[in-house]
């Protein structure tokens, strides 16, 4: 598996920093990065013929050949050897690494040799071999039989669900449908095909998947632009039951989230451009979120200004991807909640993001605006919130502020039933009282259990 990663996706992309396999403590035998072998190991270069020979390990007693050393040892036991001869002939065998016989291959050089014989065999087949194994259903070809078997098990079992609700068993008809579907006209750019490729269950909740998909598709690619929800309906379902759902997962996924968002930024801006392209093509959906997020950029105490849709929206549109990249939460927010009333959307998303996003450095604007929401006192110090929103901490420092906004949510949950409110709502409520934030609902404490979930 590691060799596979080395050979295909990661070769060249990562340097000596290991991604997996080197985290465990020293007690375990240290595994080198695939393709970067132990310098003291003995380098073996086999010819293609020898490499592909199936029975390299021969029993000295009966001459039977085996594919693997372990199998040979097992076999030797059956010969009832006296104890002395039972031991392996040499001392702890010198570590062996193998180079690929193909000259043009990156693993041909001893410094990039692979440590496992089976691994090098598979690599050679996959990269340089003839693809003899073919899937019946989708005609995909494989050089290694085990790859083919693994694929055949899952091929055709995947189901694809369009946002409009239709289920497809065939990928091509799903794609064609998707391109013409009504749902496409409304929704923001989401990865569907790639998402479906990565995940068997179309309708699952997004959090755990965010980690896997983003990590596994690091290349600049639409497939790596992962959208939190498979479908907007899914989002609704997740948020309606209340915060408990995501709160439970918060602890597990926070770390993943922060990593992911960092990765999200590292992706090419073109990807993000894609990501953000659609939301902003639909002003009715987006004006609210935009206002909200960029509220802090305007004179924030004046809620009226916040409701004016044109300036921030224009800003956003003109700026293009780099600026957009600074507000991933904004995007995700819209994405999640474009069907919910904007006011409610803001708060819910806000709190969700707070829980999810550990890496506060990636979204200062978000935090500032959150701070803004909590109370009308300008909380200018984003850093304070940076700490607060780190995964392990609960923003207890916010104290009443948090309580206020958190309480907000219960009311908000009720309000989810109502149709989307227009900017007018924001206006009205913001004018009033002290702790009224511009979300337009009373800022009150949410049920204590929710707070505890944060703590």
Partner 1 sequence: MFQPVRAPHQDHHKSPIMDTTLYTAKLPYLIYSIQPGNGQSGMRSSSNQQLPVISQTSTCSLSSESGDPCGSAKWAASLLRECAKAISEKDSTKIHHLLWMLNELASAYGDCEQKLASLFLQALFCKATETGERCYKILTSVTEKSRSFESVRKMMLKFQEVSPWTSFGHVASNGAILEAFDGGSKLHIIDISNTFCTQWPTLLEALATRSDETPRLKLTVVTTVSMEKSVMKEIRQRMEKFARLMGVPFEFQVVSELSRLAELTKEELGVQEDEAVAVNCIGALRRINVKDRDAVVRMIHSLGPRVVTVVEEEADFTSSSMDDQFVKCFDECLRFYSLFYEMLEESFSTTSNERLMLERECSRSILSVLGCDGEVEVDVGDEESEIRERGRQWSQRLRKEAFSLVGFSDDVVDDVKALLKRYRAGWSLVLAQGDDDSAGLYLTWKEEPVVWVSAWKP
Contact residues toward partner 1 (CB under 8 A) are 134, 136-139, 141, 170, 172-173, 175-180, 184-185, 189-194, 219, 221-223, 225, 270-271, 274, 277-278
Minimum distance between the CB of residue 169 and partner 1, rounded to whole angstroms?
9
Q: Given the complex with partner 1, which of 278 and 403 has the nearer CB atom?
A: 278
Say how far apart CA 290 and CA 331 lie, in whole Å.
9
Q: Name the nearest CA neighbour of 429 among 420, 439, 419.
A: 439
Q: Given the complex with partner 1, which of 83 and 180 has the nearer CB atom?
A: 180
Q: Given the complex with partner 1, which of 108 and 170 has the nearer CB atom?
A: 170
Q: Given the complex with partner 1, which of 258 and 332 has the nearer CB atom?
A: 332
Minimum distance between the CB of residue 193 and partner 1, rounded to whole angstroms?
6
**Residues forming a β-bridge with 445:** none
Q: Given the complex with partner 1, which of 198 and 435 has the nearer CB atom?
A: 198
- The single-letter DSSP state of residue 361 is G
Q: Given the complex with partner 1, which of 90 and 139 has the nearer CB atom?
A: 139
Say how far apart CA 324 and CA 316 lie, in whole Å.
7
Minimum distance between the CB of residue 317 and partner 1, rounded to whole angstroms?
15
Determine the 3-state secondary structure of 96 from DSSP.
strand
Q: Given the complex with partner 1, which of 317 and 422 has the nearer CB atom?
A: 317
Minimum distance between the CB of residue 266 and partner 1, rounded to whole angstroms?
16
Minimum distance between the CB of residue 162 and partner 1, rounded to whole angstroms?
11
Minimum distance between the CB of residue 337 and partner 1, rounded to whole angstroms?
20
Q: Are 440 and 345 in contact (CB under 8 A)?
A: no
The structure tokens listed for 396 are 């207890």
Determine the 3-state secondary structure of 32 from DSSP.
coil
Give the torsion through C-alpha atoms of 196, 198, 203, 207, to 10 deg. Answer: -140
Determine the 3-state secondary structure of 160 from DSSP.
strand
Length of the chain: 455
Minimum distance between the CB of residue 331 and partner 1, rounded to whole angstroms?
14
Minimum distance between the CB of residue 222 and partner 1, rounded to whole angstroms?
3
Q: Are 350 and 374 in contact (CB under 8 A)?
A: no
Q: Given the complex with partner 1, which of 268 and 442 has the nearer CB atom?
A: 268
Which residue has 């005609």 as its token pair? Answer: 139
Quickly list DSSP for 298-367: S-TT-HHHHH--HHHHHHHHHH-HHHHTT-HHHHHHHHHHTTS-HHHHHHHHHHHHHHH---GGG-HHHH
Minimum distance between the CB of residue 18 and partner 1, rounded to whole angstroms?
24
The structure tokens listed for 249 are 């997962």
Residue 228, phi then psi, degrees to nearest 5: -60, -35
Minimum distance between the CB of residue 140 and partner 1, rounded to whole angstroms?
9
**Residues forming a β-bridge with 44:** 98
Determine the 3-state secondary structure of 141 from DSSP.
strand
Q: Given the complex with partner 1, which of 61 and 185 has the nearer CB atom?
A: 185
Say how far apart CA 133 and CA 126 lie, in whole Å.
11
Q: Given the complex with partner 1, which of 141 and 317 has the nearer CB atom?
A: 141
Residue 19 Cα distances to 16, 35, 113, 241, 369, angstroms: 9, 13, 18, 37, 35
């Amino acid at each position: 598996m590691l060799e596979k990663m080395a050979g295909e996706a990661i070769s060249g992309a990562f340097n000596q920093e290991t991604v997996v396999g080197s985290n465990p403590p020293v007690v375990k035998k240290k595994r080198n990065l695939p393709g970067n072998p132990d310098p003291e190991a003995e380098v073996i270069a086999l010819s293609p013929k020898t490499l592909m020979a199936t029975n390299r390990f021969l029993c000295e007693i009966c001459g039977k050949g085996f594919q693997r050393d372990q199998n040979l040892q097992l076999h030797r036991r059956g010969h009832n050897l006296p104890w002395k001869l039972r031991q392996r002939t040499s001392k702890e065998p010198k570590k062996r690494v193998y180079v690929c016989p193909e000259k043009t291959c990156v693993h041909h050089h001893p410094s990039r040799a692979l440590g496992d014989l089976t691994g090098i065999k598979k690599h050679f087949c996959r990269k340089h071999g003839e693809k003899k194994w073919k899937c019946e259903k989708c005609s995909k070809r494989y050089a290694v039989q085990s790859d083919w078997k693994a694929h055949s098990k899952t091929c055709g079992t995947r189901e694809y669900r369009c946002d409009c609700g239709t289920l497809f068993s065939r990928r091509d008809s799903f794609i064609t449908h998707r391109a013409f579907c009504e749902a496409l006209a409304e929704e923001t750019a989401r990865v569907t095909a790639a998402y479906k490729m990565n995940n068997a269950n179309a309708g699952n909740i997004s959090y755990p998947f965010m980690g896997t998909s983003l990590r596994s598709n690091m290349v600049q690619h639409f497939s790596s632009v992962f959208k939190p929800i498979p479908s907007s309906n899914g989002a609704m379902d997740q948020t309606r039951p209340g915060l408990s759902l995501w709160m439970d997962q918060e602890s597990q996924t926070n770390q993943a989230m922060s990593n992911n968002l960092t990765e999200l930024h590292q992706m090419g801006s073109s990807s993000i451009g894609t990501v953000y392209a659609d939301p902003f093509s639909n002003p009715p959906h987006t004006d609210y979120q935009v206002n909200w997020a960029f509220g802090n950029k305007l004179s924030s105490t004046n809620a009226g200004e916040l409701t004016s849709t044109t300036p921030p929206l224009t800003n956003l549109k003109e700026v293009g991807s780099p600026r957009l990249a600074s507000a991933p939460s904004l995007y995700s927010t819209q994405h999640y909640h474009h069907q919910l009333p904007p006011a409610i959307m803001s708060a819910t998303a806000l709190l969700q993001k707070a829980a999810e996003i550990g890496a506060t450095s990636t979204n200062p604007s978000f935090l500032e605006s959150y701070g803004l929401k909590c109370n009308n006192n300008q909380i200018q110090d984003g850093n304070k919130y940076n700490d607060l929103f780190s995964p392990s901490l609960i923003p207890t420092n916010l104290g009443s502020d948090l309580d206020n906004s958190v309480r907000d949510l219960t009311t908000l949950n009720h309000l989810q039933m109502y149709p989307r409110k227009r900017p007018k709502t924001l206006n009205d409520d913001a004018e009033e009282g002290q702790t009224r934030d511009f979300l337009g609902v009373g800022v009150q404490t949410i049920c204590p259990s929710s707070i505890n979930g944060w703590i």
